[in-house]
A and B are shown apart, each in its own frame.
Chain A
Amino acid sequence: MDQPQPMNLPMDAHRRSGAFPPEVIAQIQRTATEGHYEIRGWGAKRDLPTFDDLLFLTASLTRYPLEGYREKCDTSTVLGTRYASKPLQLAIPVTIAGMSFGALSATAKVALGRAASAVGTSTTTGDGGMIAEERAASRLLVYQCLPSRYGFNVDDLRQADAIEIVIGQGAKPGGGGLLLGQKVTDRVAGMRTLPAGVDQRSASRHPDWVGPDDLRIKIEELREATRWEKPVYVKFGATRVVNDVKLAVEAGADVVVVDGMQGGTAATQDFFIEHTGIPTLAAVRLAAEALRDIGMEDTVQLIASGGIRTGADVAKALALGADAVSVGVAPLIALGCNSPTYWQDGSDHDASDGYQALGTEAGYCHHCHTGRCPVGVTTQDAGLEARLDADRGARQVTNYLKAMAMETAALARACGKSDVHNLEPNDLVALIVEAAAMAQVPLAGTEWIPGRQDKI
C-alpha cells in the first residue's frame, strides 16, 4: 500500500456556482494574467431565445400541404428592387455574410464564392476589401463599405454587384473591427494600407459621415459613383432596430440587413460578443414590423442574420418577415471549422494537435483570432491554409446551402406555401414565453402573445 488511495469525493463536490461557474473563473484568471478580457471569434455562446423556441403549425385538416417532390415551391429571391437598375436575382433566400479576407484565408473565400455561384447566391467582402480570387469565384459579390475603409477603392466598387454600408455587426454593435498582428501578413497589410504585423484596430464610426441625415447624402454619393445600377444595403447590429430600419430606409437604403447578437466575428472581445445587441429572434420581427409601419415591406428588402444554422431557421426568419437570411459561422463549419479532421493530399488527417495547441477541442473551438486555425479556414499561415482544399470545401458548402434551401422549401410546402416568401407569422407558435414575446407569436397551445391585449 505504497500509493495513496483516491479519496471518495462527497456527492456535492462538483456543486456549480451560477455566478462563478468554471468558464467565469477561467475568464477572471486569464484577465488577471493578461490584463484584458478574452478576445475570440464566433458569436454569443450563451443560451438565448432562438429560432429553436419557435415551431411551425404545418398542415392539418384545414391547411393543405404541397406535395414534397412534385409540387413546386419557389425559393427565388430578388434583392434591391427599390432604386437600383440591376437588383440581385438569387436562386435561394440565403446569402453568405460579410467576412474579410484577412479574417478568412483566401482559399476559404474562394471556396465560399464557388459554392455561392453553384447554388445561385451571393457572397460578401469584409473589413479588408475585395480580393481578385473572390471576385472571380463569386458570380454575385456584395462589396462592404465599413468605418475603416480598409482596402476600399473605386475600381473594386465598380466591379461589385451590390454595396453594403456597414454601420455595425451583431457581435459588436459600436465596436470596430479587429485583426491581430499574427494575421496581418504582407498581403493583408498591403490591402489594408497597414504595416505588417500590427494589431489592426478599425474605427467604429465612418470617417466621412455621422448619422442618418448625413447617411442619405453618402448613399447618394455611392449611387452617383456607380450610375445607380447597384443595390445599396445598410447593415447594422441589432440594437434600436425599429428606429434604425426606418431611418436607413429614409436615407435611401434598398435593402436593410439586421444582424442579431448571435452574429459571429473572427476576433473581438468576449464582453462585446456576449453583452451587446439583442437576439436575432427579436431583431427580425422588429425590423419587419418597422418596414410594415412605414409601408415599405414590398419595396425595401430585409436580410436577417446572426446565428442562422439550418433550413428551419431560414423558414422561421422568412415567416417573421425577412426576405432572405445571411449566414457566416454556419458555412465556415461546412467548410471545416471545428472538424476533427482536415483533408490534404487525398486523405483525412487528424487535426486534434492543432486544437490542443489552442487549448480546445473540435466542437468547442472559437479561436479564429489566433490565426492558427487547424483546418485552414481562418488563418493566413500558408502551411495551415494548405489544409483547406478549395474544391472540396466548395462542394461541402454547396451541399450545405442546397440542403438548407430544400429544408426551407419542405417546411414551406408543409405550411401550404408554393413560395417560401409566403411564410408568415401566422404559421408559427412559441415554446417559451420569451420567444413568444420577442417574436410576437402565441405561446403554443394558447392564444396569448405577451404584451398584446387584443386577440390574434
Chain B
Amino acid sequence: MEPVILSCAELSTREINAALAALPDGASARVLEPRGRHNLAVGLSNRVRIDIEGNAGYFIGGLGDGPDVVVHGFTGWSVGENLQAGSVRVEGNASECAGASSRGGTIVIEGDASSRAGISLKGGTILVGGNVGHMSGFMAQAGVMLIGGDAGDALGDSLYEAVIYVAGTIASLGSDARIEELTESDVRAVKALAELGGASFGHVQPENVTRVASARGLYNFDALKDQKY
C-alpha cells in the first residue's frame, strides 16, 4: 500500500493528526514540510509507520501507543514524551527533555540529545547515539538509557531503578547516582540496545560502557543521616 502523503504546508496539525489516527494498522504515511511544526503524530495508537520528512517541533510522537515514527531531521523539546509502545527515531539531534516520562517503547536519537534527556523515565528505552546534556536521567524511575557519546553534568540525579549506560565520558554524576560494575548481563543488554539503535551506535563497545545506577541512599528520608539533596 502506498504511503499516505500529508503536507504541513496545506494541513493544520489537527488535520494531520486526525488523518494519521484514521489509518488502519499496517498503513504508512509521510508528513512533508514539517518546518518545526509541533505536536505531530501525538496520541496515536494504531500500528502504522510515519515518516516526518524534515525538522519537527515539540512533543513529536508524544503520548504514542503504537506507531513507529521516524523524523528525517531534528526535533524540538520532549520528543516521544510519555511514549507507551511503538517507537520514535530521530535522525538528527533532539532538543531538551527527549523521551520525558516515557513508559514503554523505544526512542532513538541518532544525533545528540540536549539537557534532561530521559527525565522522569518510567520504563521506556532511550538510545542516544551522540551526547546528552546536563540533568539527563533526572528522577528516572525505570527503564534503560544507552548514551553513545558523553553525558553532561548531574547525570542520573535522584535516580530510582532505571539504568543508564554511557559509552563516552560523564561530566559529573547527580545526587544518589553511582557507577557500578558491568556484568555479563549488562554487556549483553548493551549489545542488544546498540543493535536496536542501528548504525549510529556502531562505535559503542558494550564491554567498555559505564553503568550508572541508583545508590538508593535517598529512598527513605533520614534527616539525621547526611543525605545529599
Say if the two chains contact directly (CB < 8 Å).
yes
* A interface residues with partner B (beta carbon < 8 Å): 34-36, 148-149, 152-155, 157, 180-181, 192-195, 197-199, 201, 203, 207-209, 214, 217-218, 220-222, 224-228
Closest Cβ of chain A: how far from B52's Cβ, in Å?
A: 15
The answer, yes or no, to whether B107 is at the interface (CB within 8 Å) is no
Q: Is the CB of B103 within 8 A of A221?
A: no
Q: Which residue of A lies closest to B65 (CB)?
A: A154
Q: Which of B18, B97, B219, B222 contacts A208 (CB 8 A)?
A: B97
Q: Which of B14, B77, B123 contacts A224 (CB 8 A)?
A: B14
When distances are taken between beta carbons in the complex, the residues of chain B under 8 Å from A207 are: 78, 81, 97, 100-101, 116, 119-120, 138-139
When distances are taken between beta carbons in the complex, the residues of chain B under 8 Å from A155 are: 65, 84
CA distance A152 to B222 in the complex (A): 29
Closest Cβ of chain B: how far from A290's Cβ, in Å?
A: 27
Q: Is the CB of A203 within 8 A of B139?
A: yes
Q: Is the CB of A208 within 8 A of B81?
A: yes
Q: Which residue of B lies closest to A202 (CB)?
A: B139
The answer, yes or no, to whether B82 is at the interface (CB within 8 Å) is yes
The answer, yes or no, to whether B165 is at the interface (CB within 8 Å) is no
- Give me 12 A-to-B residue pairs in the complex whose CB atoms sit less than 8 angstroms apart, sorted by A's number: A34-B224, A153-B103, A180-B221, A195-B161, A199-B220, A208-B59, A209-B77, A220-B13, A221-B59, A221-B62, A224-B42, A224-B43
Known: A208-B77, A221-B63, A225-B43. A154 touches B13 (CB 8 A): no
Q: Is the CB of B101 within 8 A of A152?
A: yes
Given A208-B62, A209-B77, 7 further pairs, Cβ under 8 A: A148-B120, A154-B45, A154-B84, A181-B219, A221-B39, A225-B42, A225-B63
Q: Is the CB of B13 within 8 A of A224?
A: yes
CA distance A194 to B142 in the complex (A): 8
Q: Is the CB of A220 within 8 A of B45?
A: no
When distances are taken between beta carbons in the complex, the residues of chain B under 8 Å from A152 are: 82, 101
The answer, yes or no, to whether B201 is at the interface (CB within 8 Å) is no
CA distance A331 to B77 in the complex (A): 40
When distances are taken between beta carbons in the complex, the residues of chain B under 8 Å from A201 are: 158, 218
When distances are taken between beta carbons in the complex, the residues of chain B under 8 Å from A227 are: 18, 21
When distances are taken between beta carbons in the complex, the residues of chain A under 8 Å from B13 are: 220, 224
When distances are taken between beta carbons in the complex, the residues of chain A under 8 Å from B116 are: 207
Closest 4 CB pairs of A and B: A225-B43, A35-B223, A208-B78, A36-B223
When distances are taken between beta carbons in the complex, the residues of chain B under 8 Å from A194 are: 141, 160
The answer, yes or no, to whether B72 is at the interface (CB within 8 Å) is no
Q: Is the CB of B224 within 8 A of A199?
A: no
When distances are taken between beta carbons in the complex, the residues of chain A under 8 Å from B220 are: 181, 197-199
The answer, yes or no, to whether B58 is at the interface (CB within 8 Å) is yes
Q: Which residue of A lies closest to B60 (CB)?
A: A221
When distances are taken between beta carbons in the complex, the residues of chain B under 8 Å from A220 are: 13, 38-39
Question: Chain A: interface secondary structure?
Answer: loop
Closest Cβ of chain A: how far from B224's Cβ, in Å?
A: 5
Q: Which residue of A lies closest to B18 (CB)?
A: A227
Q: Is the CB of B14 within 8 A of A203?
A: no
When distances are taken between beta carbons in the complex, the residues of chain A under 8 Å from B97 are: 207-209
Closest Cβ of chain A: how far from B130's Cβ, in Å?
A: 21
Q: Is the CB of A35 within 8 A of B224?
A: yes
CA distance A197 to B220 in the complex (A): 8
Q: Is the CB of B223 within 8 A of A34?
A: yes
The interface centre, meaning the residue of A153, A157, A203, A208 with most chain B CB atoms within 10 A of its CB, is: A208
Closest Cβ of chain A: how far from B77's Cβ, in Å?
A: 7
CA distance A279 to B70 in the complex (A): 49
CA distance A227 to B17 in the complex (A): 9
When distances are taken between beta carbons in the complex, the residues of chain B under 8 Å from A199 are: 219-221
The interface centre, meaning the residue of B13, B45, B63, B158 with most chain A CB atoms within 10 A of its CB, is: B63
When distances are taken between beta carbons in the complex, the residues of chain A under 8 Å from B103 are: 153, 193
When distances are taken between beta carbons in the complex, the residues of chain B under 8 Å from A192 are: 141
CA distance A154 to B223 in the complex (A): 37
Q: Which residue of B lies closest to A157 (CB)?
A: B63
The answer, yes or no, to whether B122 is at the interface (CB within 8 Å) is yes
Q: Is the CB of B77 within 8 A of A154?
A: no
Known: A207-B100, A207-B116, A224-B17. A193 touches B43 (CB 8 A): no
Closest Cβ of chain B: how far from A215's Cβ, in Å?
A: 11
When distances are taken between beta carbons in the complex, the residues of chain A under 8 Å from B82 are: 149, 152-154, 208
Q: Is the CB of B141 within 8 A of A154?
A: no
Closest Cβ of chain A: how far from B97's Cβ, in Å?
A: 5
Q: Is the CB of A226 within 8 A of B77?
A: no
Q: Which of B39, B78, B160 contacts A195 (CB 8 A)?
A: B160
Q: Is the CB of A198 within 8 A of B160?
A: yes
When distances are taken between beta carbons in the complex, the residues of chain B under 8 Å from A218 are: 59
Q: Is the CB of B78 within 8 A of A209?
A: yes
CA distance A214 to B97 in the complex (A): 13
Closest Cβ of chain A: how far from B145's Cβ, in Å?
A: 14
Closest Cβ of chain A: how far from B40's Cβ, in Å?
A: 9
Closest Cβ of chain A: how far from B132's Cβ, in Å?
A: 15
Q: Which of A149, A181, A193, A214 contacts B142 (CB 8 A)?
A: A193
